[in-house]
Chain A
Amino acid sequence: MSELVNPTVNTRPIALEIENLVVGVGKSGTGKKIIDGISLQVRQGETLCVVGESGSGKSVTSLSTMGLLPRDSLKAIGGSIKLVGEDVLQASDRRLRELRATTMAMIFQEPMTALNPVVPVGKQIDEVLRTHTSLGASARRARILDMMEQVRLPDVKRIFASYPHRLSGGQRQRIMIAMALVLEPKLLIADEPTTALDVTTQAQILKLMRDLQKDHGTAVLFITHDMGVVADIADRVAVMRNGRLVETGALKDILSAPTQDYTRNLLSSVPSLIPRAAREEVGFNPVVLEANELGKVYRERSMFGKPREVHAAQDVTLTLRKGRTLGIVGESGSGKSTVARCIVRLIDPTSGGIRLAGREISDLSRHALQPHRKKIQIVFQDPYRSLNPRITIGESICEGPINFGTKHSVAMARARELLELVGLPPDAVSRYPHQFSGGQRQRIAIARALALDPEVLVADEAVSALDVSVQAQVLRLLDDIQTRLGIAILFITHDLRVAAQICDDVAVMQHGRVVEQGPAAEVLANPQQPYTRQLLDAAPGRGWDFANFRAVDGSTTVPAA
């Protein structure tokens, strides 16, 4: 990417210069240093990606630049942040407000919460112009419509008058970008702007941001945790960790020749998009889980007329053998989670059958189902909510075995073993969930699921909320457990990279249907369906093999999404 963008980039004027920034906790910033001596530079027309895992201080850096640090808990106590030569740390509140619209602008991760839900989006953009320009009403409208066309929104007149909830996530993010760029700021700060979006939408937004940057020459400070996104959009990269700058350099240098161990680790944790070879099937593996034409219909009752039907899942047929991993991949709303929840019978399917270890369970009552529950267990996405905060780790893990008649002391001894199995100290049994990090909690959730010796483990986006290095560890753990216990795993994910590395077989879902299914190596390397191809094309950073520090096929170009 670096050589694609203007090679004369280094001679352009500096838009943002952060020098030796220190941010401390507390009203006067005397507490722990969240940011400790960061120095960054962004030139006009250049994109600097700040990348780091949670807690690295990347968001605090962007908030400091915008002058948006929460006043009573964080304070910049040292260094300077020069925006086109002007130090924003010294600026008055009034001056900051002016700067925020005219010289720097910010877009956030969650476009729904960043927009006011009760004001039409056109009016929200208009407010920026009304406050900061002296244009008349019709001139403002013309400029807004023009800007909305630049961010490639369809039917701009209709969208101008629409409320945020009428728009899709991608459209809302386009509105945010339009609002940010309407006054032609010198600096655009984008804080994880595509993290909440589906990959196809993400690819479009990233392309849009690149194109707009070319046209307007804006300097972009792009915050992200996703190396794939970095590879697609950055000119230069700054790697952060624990409030310090680890390494900074041109994109190609960082990706192909990182000098710091941390960067190397971070890059090698990124799962490759090239599917791993399927495991050899040793002998005959019995089928442990089958879904036959599974369907789930949500009916919205209405007082008048026909009830509206939503098919969350339709004719889903899956087969999972002992010791194998079947991945269900798809974007949000594709019905992959619905299928998982039907299979675990957290919700009741409206049609079709589920055979678990040879027994049909789709039509069993809650009560009759109870003995079969132990054969299938689920691990959820959010490790912060999947453990009861008021119960010790030991009690959480023991709950299942005790339900099936194991004595408390026996179950507790087993809990200790399981904690060791997932790589935690056995004495963690007496601690509470809040004493553990997200990755550790996910290990505990896995231990809890394993306590019943299930035949099938359903992992519903089980690594999506984790940082990439922790994600790699949890994936290794799952693989290890599978090898040792011969458990079958149904792995639900939106992340094709993760799917490529963990799955033997893959089912791709769209609009509640399975569009393509087969061995991972075939589906992901040689997709037959246009939708699968589209998903793969949209996967960020697909031009790079991060773990091996090289571009795929020797090309450094980023394919157009």
Chain B
Amino acid sequence: MAIESLPNPALPSRSGPSLGFLTATPIIALATICLTLVILSAIFAPWLTSHDPQLLAPALRLKPASSEYLLGTDAYGRDVLARILYGGRISLLIGLGAAVTSIVIGLFIGLFSGFFKLADAVMMRVMDGLMAMPGVLLAIAVVSLSGATLTTVLIAITIPEIPRVARLVRSVVLSAREEPYVEAAISLGSSMPKIMWKHLMPNTVAPLIVQGTFIAASAILTEAILSFLGAGISPETPTWGNIMAEGRAFFQVKPSLIFWPGLLLSIAILSVNLIGDAARDALDPRMKQREAGK
């Protein structure tokens, strides 16, 4: 007891969150596989189908499934499978784009308002205001003001997500800045940006990964809603929402026009949400504390 034992070199070093949780349970493994398949099918759409998703062919309208058109054609004679595969590209891009953009912007707002009291008072009131507006309504307003392109739709979907990220980051920063190691950094003469980046920001990574998956899922859904309402990206560009919106008129004749994009949308969102849940369980700070031991 008199001599403390030396550190055990066999102990693994802590180097960021591991991805082991992706196969934690069979259901999560299944979700991971499904999401990977959806992403791969969107990326490799040109190799998976030879049809042009935008080529109009009125003569071939509303054909049933055949060996040429695996899922049949829509009201303008376009191949439904091609449209769904290409549509996945836009939908997933929006999901990823909205998650990354809102996290980057929200992270900065959150870090600043968590650290500077003056900035906090102003920025959090703005965030409160943003949160008071329904996301879809805000998105419709932005899109109808500035026209429906991929960029504007992305911005319209991102804006309502920013306050949620900012508040999350702010709360993490507020509790982390009370930690003695942050005070130690202050007394070591570290500058504010350095303290924020080196000591505070890493604490937000785990909760942001979790929040990011939920934002991605809800962005994909919001894009589909906007397209379905006719406020999204112009109808000739395939997105899952657009395909369903156009298929609505022929639902009774040809339900598969809505069924297939709807199925893919559900699978993608469910998978992302399940992975998000798994990430939260794996990265939960309380679990981590328990590991660290007291």
Contact = CB atoms under 8 A, between A and B. Distances in A.
B66 interface: no
B294 A53 contact: no
Interface in A410-450: 424-425, 428, 430-432, 434-437, 439-440, 445, 448
Interface stretch (B1-9, B101-109, B153-161, B242-250): B1-9
Interface stretch (A113-121, A317-325, A357-365, A372-380): A372-380
Contacts of A403: 188-191, 194
Contacts of A378: 183-184, 187
Contact of A470 (B4, B186, B191, B202): B4
Contacts of B294: 384
A542 B147 CA distance: 82
Given A388-B199, A389-B292, A390-B202, A431 B188 contact: no
A434 B292 contact: yes
A346 B14 contact: no
A262 B190 CA distance: 43
Nearest to B199: A388
B183 A346 contact: yes
B185 interface: yes
Contacts of A434: 11, 14, 292
A377 B180 contact: no
Given A378-B187, A404-B189, A425 B2 contact: no
B13 interface: yes
B190 to A, nearest CB: 5
Contacts of A452: 188-189
Given A389-B14, A390-B14, A432-B14, A373 B188 contact: yes
A373 B11 CA distance: 35
Contacts of A445: 184
A388 B292 CA distance: 13
A416 to B, nearest CB: 15
Contacts, number: 96
A387 interface: yes
A376 B187 contact: yes
A370 interface: yes
A237 interface: no
Size band of the A side of the interface? 35 or more
A399 interface: yes
B179 A385 contact: yes
Interface string B1-27: 110111110010110000000000000
A136 B189 CA distance: 66
Nearest to B1: A469
A387 B185 contact: no
A313 interface: no
A385 B183 CA distance: 10
A266 B1 contact: yes
A501 to B, nearest CB: 17
A400 interface: yes
B189 A439 contact: no
B251 interface: no
A440 B294 CA distance: 14
B106 to A, nearest CB: 21
Contact of A428 (B7, B187, B202): B7
A400 B189 contact: yes
B8 A448 contact: no
A205 to B, nearest CB: 24
Interface string B155-197: 0000000000000000000000001110111111111001000
A345 B189 CA distance: 11
Nearest to A369: B189
A134 B14 CA distance: 57
A262 B292 CA distance: 28
Contact of B180 (A345, A376, A385, A390): A385
A125 to B, nearest CB: 30
A265 B188 CA distance: 36
B186 A399 contact: no
Given A373-B188, A384-B292, A437 B14 contact: no
A396 B180 CA distance: 13
B287 to A, nearest CB: 14
A344 B187 contact: yes
Contacts of A382: 180
B183 A425 contact: no
A435 B7 contact: yes
A259 interface: no
B10 to A, nearest CB: 10
A151 B6 CA distance: 47
A258 to B, nearest CB: 14
Interface in B18-73: none
Contacts of B181: 385-388, 396
Contacts of B14: 389-390, 432, 434
Contacts of B8: 435
A53 B189 contact: no
B18 to A, nearest CB: 14
Interface in A385-410: 385-392, 396, 399-400, 403-404
- Residue among A385, A387, A404, A473 facing the most chain B CB atoms (10 A cut-off): A385
Given A386-B181, A432-B14, A377 B188 contact: yes
B115 to A, nearest CB: 12
Contacts of A432: 13-14
A469 B186 CA distance: 31
Nearest to A399: B188
Nearest to A398: B188
A437 B186 contact: no
B172 to A, nearest CB: 13
B178 to A, nearest CB: 9
B85 to A, nearest CB: 41
Nearest to A404: B189
Contacts of A428: 7
A167 to B, nearest CB: 26
A488 B183 CA distance: 21
Contact of B4 (A386, A387, A404, A440): A440
Contact of A346 (B5, B187, B190, B191): B187
Nearest to A430: B13
A241 interface: yes
Nearest to A445: B184
B193 to A, nearest CB: 12
Contacts of A392: 13
A418 to B, nearest CB: 14
A435 B13 contact: yes
B203 to A, nearest CB: 8
Nearest to A392: B13
Nearest to B10: A435
A362 to B, nearest CB: 15
Interface of A: 53, 241, 262, 265-266, 344-346, 370-371, 373-374, 376-378, 380-382, 384-392, 396, 399-400, 403-404, 424-425, 428, 430-432, 434-437, 439-440, 445, 448, 452, 469-470, 473
Top 10 closest pairs, chain A to chain B, by CB:
A400-B188, A373-B189, A386-B180, A380-B180, A388-B181, A403-B189, A435-B11, A390-B202, A435-B7, A385-B180
17 contacts: A265-B1, A344-B187, A345-B187, A373-B187, A385-B179, A388-B181, A388-B199, A400-B189, A404-B189, A431-B7, A432-B14, A434-B292, A436-B7, A445-B184, A452-B189, A469-B1, A469-B2
Given A390-B202, A440-B4, A448-B184, 16 more contacts: A346-B183, A382-B180, A384-B294, A385-B179, A385-B181, A388-B185, A390-B14, A399-B185, A399-B198, A403-B191, A425-B7, A431-B11, A434-B14, A435-B7, A440-B7, A448-B188
